[in-house]
Amino acid sequence: MRKTVFISSTYVDLKEERRKVWDTLEKFDVAVKGMEQFGARKSDPLTTCLSEVEQSDIYIGIIGMRYGSEEPKTGKSYSQLEYEKAIEKNIEILIYLIDEDSSSVTPKFIQFDKIQKLNNFKEILKEKHTIDSFSNSLDLVSKLQRKFTELLTPKADVVIEDEYENTKKVLDLFLLVPAAYSGREIKLKVKFIGQPQPVSKAIYVNYNFEFGKTIVSKIEVVHPVFEFKNFKHIFIEFRYLQKFLSLDKSTEYEIFANVLFKDEKVKTLTTDFRDRIERVYDESYYADSEPDPGDYYKPEPYYDVLRVGDGQIALSLKDIIIRK
């Protein structure tokens, strides 16, 4: 059955993104709905938008740095009301938020007086959905095309590019201008190695992860094969933790990951939150092979030190059980 896709976003700041998404959808047997094809109608723009959402199978929410036009009675933006209509109709919802760290947003497009409303809307989306981020229109399209391939039927005369070939193209460009391509998504086949560890505070600062809610695992990239050796670890955020922990570590897995770049290399990837006693051995103890016969006592060949863990770990009382 031919599906209908509704594209929801503000317009003036996301023209390029909307055009690229529209062009990508042209490869699939799908009806596309969006403000570009509304034309002149008797109903007002918001009524038209909500009506089109009602008739759609998939809602794509692309959220940038503008909250957008508001409906006077509710004070909510058209984009937020479109999203709420999609929730009401229980249709497939795909959410993509602009990566504020890696994207370059022209200040004239930012509605500074509506930033709080925009942030509140983004928090609702993050709470209710597994969202993805995008740094530019090409990054957005590459991530959406993967979802389209899962949900939609390609047109008979269209050949969808192999995802591993796309990975090679992205990495060729990434290694030339990494700052420009940071955040782009690639596909790999990997094997996870050993036990995961919590990431260090330096990693948290460098990549804007949540400290205490992100881990790092060693990996071996099985395919594609690269000459460079940068991909030896992968960072895993809390929302993917349970899925990661359930994996069979002896199995190879196909994954999608974002390539990241920062101008400073962090030396320490991991940390330890435990305060623990560590035994340190004194090598000089064994250097004296001929002890003095007059020595009645010689200290132990080691000493204990307290290694203080990162962060603050404590207990907070919730209840006391008193048994009679």
pTM to 2 decimal places = 0.70
The predicted-structure confidence for 204-226, as pLDDT tens digits, reads as follows 888 888 899 999 999 999 999 88
The tokens for 18 are 């909307």
The predicted-structure confidence for 130-170, as pLDDT tens digits, reads as follows 899 898 898 899 889 889 988 999 887 777 778 888 899 99
Contacts of 5 (CB under 8 A, 6+ apart): 25, 30, 31, 32, 33, 56, 57, 58, 59, 60, 152
Are residue 198 and residue 98 in the same domain, yes or no? Answer: no
Q: How far apart are the first and last CA of the chain?
A: 66
Q: What is the pLDDT of residue 1?
A: 77
Are residue 13 and residue 126 in the same domain, yes or no? Answer: yes
The tokens for 184 are 């782009």
Q: What is the pLDDT of residue 63?
A: 96
Chosen domain end from 258, 284, 318: 258
Residue 124, judged by CB atoms within 10 A of its CB (0-12, 13-18, 19+), counts as middle
Q: What is the mean pLDDT of residues 59-67?
A: 95
Whether 53 and 6 have beta carbons less than 8 Å apart is answered as: yes
Per-residue pLDDT at 32 exceeds 90: yes
Are residue 44 and residue 141 in the same domain, yes or no? Answer: yes
Are residue 191 and residue 232 in the same domain, yes or no? Answer: yes
- For residue 286, being part of any structural domain is answered with no
Are residue 172 and residue 106 in the same domain, yes or no? Answer: no
Give the chain's count of helices (H) and strands (E): 10, 11
Q: Band of the pLDDT at 22, cuts 50, 70, 90?
A: very high
Chosen domain end from 100, 119, 151: 151
- For residue 310, being part of any structural domain is answered with no
Q: What is the DSSP letter of 154?
A: B
Chosen domain end from 91, 116, 151: 151
Q: Band of the pLDDT at 291, cuts 50, 70, 90?
A: low
Q: Band of the pLDDT at 120, cuts 50, 70, 90?
A: very high
- For residue 93, being part of any structural domain is answered with yes
Per-residue pLDDT at 49 exceeds 50: yes
Q: What is the pLDDT of residue 317?
A: 47
The tokens for 44 are 């007002």
Are residue 133 and residue 193 in the same domain, yes or no? Answer: no
The DSSP bridge partners found for residue 134 are 98
- Backbone phi and psi for residue 60, each to the nearest 5 degrees, phi listed first: -110, 115
Q: What is the mean pLDDT of residues 72-98?
A: 95
d(CA 218, CA 323): 48
d(CA 272, CA 179): 30
The tokens for 312 are 């603050």
- Report the length, in residues, of the chain: 324
- Percent of the chain whose predicted confidence (pLDDT) is above 90: 46
Domain count, the chain: 2
- For residue 53, being part of any structural domain is answered with yes
- For residue 87, being part of any structural domain is answered with yes
Q: What is the mean pLDDT of residues 24-48?
A: 81
Considering 78-87, 97-106, 134-143, 282-291, the range whose residues carry the highest mean pLDDT is 78-87
- Percent of the chain whose predicted confidence (pLDDT) is above 70: 87
DSSP letter for each residue of 165-208? HHHHHHHHHHTTSHHHHTT-EEEEEEEEEEEEEEBPHHHHHHHT
- Residue scoring higher pLDDT (8 or 155): 8
Q: What is the pLDDT of residue 185?
A: 87
Q: What is the CATH number of the domain that holds 106?
A: 3.40.50.10140
Whether 12 and 64 have beta carbons less than 8 Å apart is answered as: no
Average pLDDT for the chain: 85
The predicted-structure confidence for 249-276, as pLDDT tens digits, reads as follows 899 999 889 888 888 888 888 998 888 8
d(CA 231, CA 259): 9
Name the region of 243 (left: φ>0; alpha: ψ -120 to 50; beta: rest).
Answer: alpha
Q: What is the pLDDT of residue 287?
A: 57
The tokens for 264 are 């400073």
- For residue 296, being part of any structural domain is answered with no
Are residue 205 and residue 94 in the same domain, yes or no? Answer: no
Are residue 142 and residue 240 in the same domain, yes or no? Answer: no
Are residue 47 and residue 175 in the same domain, yes or no? Answer: no
d(CA 104, CA 101): 8
Element of type H or E holding 121: helix 115-128
Are residue 12 and residue 101 in the same domain, yes or no? Answer: yes
Are residue 20 and residue 147 in the same domain, yes or no? Answer: yes
- For residue 215, being part of any structural domain is answered with yes
Are residue 185 and residue 132 in the same domain, yes or no? Answer: no
Q: Strand pairing of 92-98 and 132-134?
A: parallel
- Backbone phi and psi for residue 112, each to the nearest 5 degrees, phi listed first: -65, -30
- What is the SS3 assignment for 282? coil
The predicted-structure confidence for 170-193, as pLDDT tens digits, reads as follows 999 998 998 888 888 888 999 999
Per-residue pLDDT at 303 exceeds 80: no
List the domain range (segments joined by +) for residue 21. Answer: 3-151
The tokens for 281 are 């051995």
Q: Strand pairing of 3-8 and 30-33?
A: parallel
- For residue 115, being part of any structural domain is answered with yes
Q: What is the DSSP letter of 158?
A: -
Q: What is the pLDDT of residue 45?
A: 83
- Residue scoring higher pLDDT (320 or 302): 302
Per-residue pLDDT at 76 exceeds 80: yes
Per-residue pLDDT at 127 exceeds 90: yes
Q: What is the mean pLDDT of residues 266-294?
A: 73
Per-residue pLDDT at 23 exceeds 70: yes
